[in-house]
Amino acid sequence: MTSAPERPQTWQVCIACGHEMVETDPHPRCTRCGGLLEVDHRPLGPSRVDLLRRFTDRRGGGASSSGVWRFKEIVLPSATELISHPEGNTPLLHRAALDRWTGLARLLLKHEGHNPTGSFKDRGMTVGVTQAKRIGATAVACASTGNTSASLAAYAAQAGLPALVLVPAGNVALGKLAQSLAYGAKTLLVRGDFDDCLRLVEQAGEQLGVYLLNSINPFRIEGQKTIVLEALEQLSWTPPDWIVLPAGNLGNTAAFGKALVEARTWGLIDRLPRLAAVQAEGAAPFAQSFREGFARRHRVKAETVATAIRIGDPASYDRAVKAIRETNGVVLAVSDTEILEAKAAVDATGVGCEPASAASVAGVRRLVAAGTIGSTESVVAVLTGHVLKDPGALLAYHQEAEPPPPGANRPVEIDPSLDAVARILGSR
Ligand SMILES: *Cc1c(COP(=O)(O)O)cnc(C)c1O
Ligand SMILES: [Zn+2]
């Protein structure tokens, strides 16, 4: 007797109409209604104990030791030929100075700047590019505020796929642009903002047949879930009270919510931390919707020093609303001044991060001051990108701003004499 063919484990499901598409369908959106797709894994085979053992056993080496692919069962179980750097396995840091700065008893920092191209985008991209290879894509493309393009460029190069990246001309941090060029992506500087880039690349995907690796790509979300899974693992699966992250296009907010709900469903944790998504005041359409109970979606013309979250019409809005609702989360906005002060505080501990990342730490301080987060609650703030991503913002803050901001560390030009050095030492 032959058994019935096994139902595939992974599907793409439309979050608007419920339409189901096979795992290898290359369409970026629901083919019935245009809604956002979500990857659905079912059913999950191994028991909790078995899963946890697999996650740690894989740390041994090779592509499956990556901080993404260690969690393969809940990322993309059917993937075999992995395009992995490897990535992930990032540290959970503690710096007492930041406890004092935020007013918390203990703040933990999940530092995603430790990924191979310096941002969490690598966690999504290893899955996205692995999927692109699986379905036989001949080229890949994305719109980006910079980090997605740096990451896509690197992973496409590894996979041997041509990559096309669209970034807003004049508004990409130097380190990110440099990476796209270095890794060999065809880089288009679009005379418009990120939201224009996103529209354009979606049209290109439809009409020119390239595989889209924007954050609307549901496989990228699956990879980004592992930020949360790994942090929970580092906390021995005792969930923190809060997880705080910067929010721009809202892919990560969506990924965090999905990871938490799934982790509870699969018995990995017994309660959900609350999510706090932090936007920049000049790019805060999601915070505005939150204040109105998500009664309606907003679009704004975005402006902020934190270019990675300089987004006025977030693509993953619907998914992120779900994430905030399901985790009893909050959304807030902080000013560019608060972001830069938080960044200076993080940088001064020797940890360092890019401006957008510091929004999470600025958000923690705000929420503690407002009493939303209790000072003894356990909090993980995510630092999304590396300090070297945006040298322009650093020099502007430390070297150029007049009057010097509170954390400015001005370089001093001297004559080549020991006297001059001694004078500086003496004046400290
Ligand atoms: C992409 C990015 C963000 C924003 O993440 P979304 O998923 O777009 O909300 C924040 N910080 C950095 C460093 C990023 O690269
Ligand atoms: Zn649909």
Q: Assess whether pLDDT exceeds 80 at residue 1.
A: no
Dihedrals phi, psi of 120, to nearest 5 degrees? -65, -15
**Averaged pLDDT for residues 123-145:** 95
Bond before 86 cis per omega within 30 degrees: yes
CA of 415 to the centre of ligand 1 (A): 43
Q: What is the mean pLDDT of residues 185-202?
A: 92
Instruction: Say how many Å lie between the CA of residue 150 and the centre of ligand 2.
Output: 31
Mean pLDDT of 58-83: 90
How far does residue 305's CA lie from ligand 2's centre (Å)? Answer: 36
Q: Report which of 364, 362, 341 is spatially closest to residue 107, judged by C-alpha positions.
A: 364
Give backbone dihedrals phi and psi of 363, rounded to 5 degrees, phi first.
Answer: -65, -40
pLDDT at residue 122 tops 70: yes
Which of 142, 233, 243, 253 shows the shortest CA–CA distance to 187?
142
**Which ligand has its closest atom nearest to the C-alpha of 227?**
1
Give pLDDT, residue 121: 98
pLDDT at position 15, please? 94
Distance (angstroms) between ligand 1 centre and the Cα of 147 equals: 8
Give residue 200's identity as a one-letter amino acid code: L
Ligand 1 pocket mutation, candidates 172, 227, 252, 316, criterion most atoms within 8 A of CB: 252
d(CA 311, CA 253): 14
Structure tokens at 142: 């994305």
Q: Regarding predicted confidence, which is higher, 266 or 119?
A: 119
Which atom of ligand 1 sits closest to the CA of residue 255?
A: 7
State the pLDDT at residue 345.
96
Smallest-distance ligand from the CA of 14? 2
Q: What is the 3-state secondary structure (H, E, C) of the chain?
A: CCCCCCCCCEEEEECCCCCEEECCCCCCCCCCCCCCEEEEECCCCCCHHHHHHHHHHHHHCCHHHCCCHHHHHHCCCCCCCCCCCCCCCCCEEECHHHHHHHCCCCEEEEEHHHCCCCECHHHHHHHHHHHHHHCCCCCEEEECCCHHHHHHHHHHHHHCCCEEEEEECCCCCHHHHHHHHHCCCEEEEECCCHHHHHHHHHHHHHHHCCEECCCCCHHHHHHHHHHHHHHHHHCCCCCCCEEEEECCCCHHHHHHHHHHHHHHHCCCCCCCCEEEEEEEHHHCHHHHHHHCCCCCCCCCCCCCCCHHHCCCCCCCHHHHHHHHHHCCCEEEEECHHHHHHHHHHHHHCCCCCCHHHHHHHHHHHHHHHCCCCCCCCCEEEEECECHHHCHHHHHHHHHHCCCCCCCCCCCCCCCCCHHHHHHHHHCC
pLDDT of 4 over the 50 cut: no
Checking if the pLDDT of 42 tops 90, the result is no
- Nearest atom, ligand 1, residue 320 CA: 9
CA of 211 to the centre of ligand 2 (A): 19
Mean pLDDT over 154-176 rounds to 94
Say yes or no: domain 121-212 is CATH 3.40.50.1100: yes
Distance of CA 194 from the midpoint of ligand 1 (Å) = 13
Q: What is the pLDDT of residue 249?
A: 96
385 Cα nearest atom in ligand 1: 13
**Sequence-ordered list of residues with C-beta below 8 angstroms from that of 406, at least 6 positions apart, any chain:** 341, 344
pLDDT in tens, 241-253: 999 999 999 999 9
Give 406's pLDDT tier (boundaries 50, 70, 90): confident
| Ligand 1 atom at minimum distance from 389 CA | 13
Kindly state the average pLDDT of the residues 77-99: 96
Ligand 1 centroid from CA 398, angstroms? 24
Distance 410 CA to ligand 1 centre (A): 29
Ligand 1 atom 14: the closest Cα is on which residue?
Answer: 308
Q: Is 80 exceeded by the pLDDT of residue 233? A: yes
Q: What six digits make up the tokens of 159?
A: 């996979």
Q: Is 70 exceeded by the pLDDT of residue 129?
A: yes
* pLDDT one-digit tens code per residue, 268-298: 999 999 999 999 999 999 999 999 999 999 9
* Residues recorded for the chain: 428
The pLDDT-based confidence of 71 (bands split at 50, 70, 90) is very high
The rounded distance, in Å, linking the Cα atoms of 98 and 145 is 28
What is the average pLDDT value for the chain, to the nearest integer?
Answer: 94
Nearest ligand 1 atom to the CA of 254 is 7
| pLDDT > 90 fraction of the chain, expressed in percent and rounded | 86
Among residues 234, 7, 240, 221, which one has the least CA distance to residue 126? 221
What average pLDDT does this structure show over 84-98?
97
Q: Read off the pLDDT of each residue in 60-89 and give the average, rounded to a whole number.
A: 91
Tokens 């987060």 locate to 373
Q: How confident is the model at residue 33 (pLDDT cuts 50, 70, 90)?
A: very high
Q: Note the pLDDT of residue 428.
A: 62
CATH 3.30.300.30, applies to 92-116+219-400: no
- pLDDT the model gives residue 8: 59
Rg, C-alpha atoms of the chain: 22
Give the closest ligand to the alpha carbon of residue 18. 2
Instruction: Reply yes or no on whether the pLDDT at 208 is more than 90.
Output: no
Q: What is the mean pLDDT of residues 305-334?
A: 96
Q: What residues does ligand 1 touch, defined as CB less than 6 Å away?
A: 119, 121, 147, 215, 246-253, 308-309, 354, 356-357, 384-385
The domain limits of the chain are 92-116+219-400, 121-212
251 CA: nearest ligand 1 atom: 7
CA-proximal residue: ligand 1, atom 4 (nearest):
248
Shortest-distance Cα residue to atom 15 of ligand 1: 147
Whole-angstrom distance, CA of residue 226 vs CA of residue 215? 15
Mean pLDDT of 3-29: 84
Instruction: Judge whether 116 and 85 are in contact, CB under 8 Å.
Output: yes
Calculate the alpha carbon distances from 205 to 99, 125, 163, 251, 310 in Å: 45, 17, 12, 19, 23
Q: Name the band, by pLDDT with cuts 50, 70 and 90, for residue 174.
A: very high
> Two tokens at 270?
């017994």
Q: Which atom of ligand 1 is nearest to the CA of 250?
A: 9
Question: Distance, CA 216 to ligand 2 centroid (Å)?
Answer: 14
State which ligand 1 atom lies nearest to the alpha carbon of 277: 9
> Would you say residue 2 has pLDDT above 70?
no
Nearest CA to ligand 1 atom 8: 249
Distance 21 CA to ligand 1 centre (A): 27
pLDDT at residue 368 tops 70: yes
Q: What distance in Å separates the CA atoms of residue 391 and residue 397, rounded to the nearest whole number?
A: 10
Predicted local confidence at residue 47, as pLDDT: 86
Of residues 157, 149, 159, the one with CA closest to residue 119: 149
Res. 109: pLDDT tops 60: yes
pLDDT > 50? residue 106: yes
Give percent above pLDDT 70 in the chain: 98
pLDDT at 7: 54
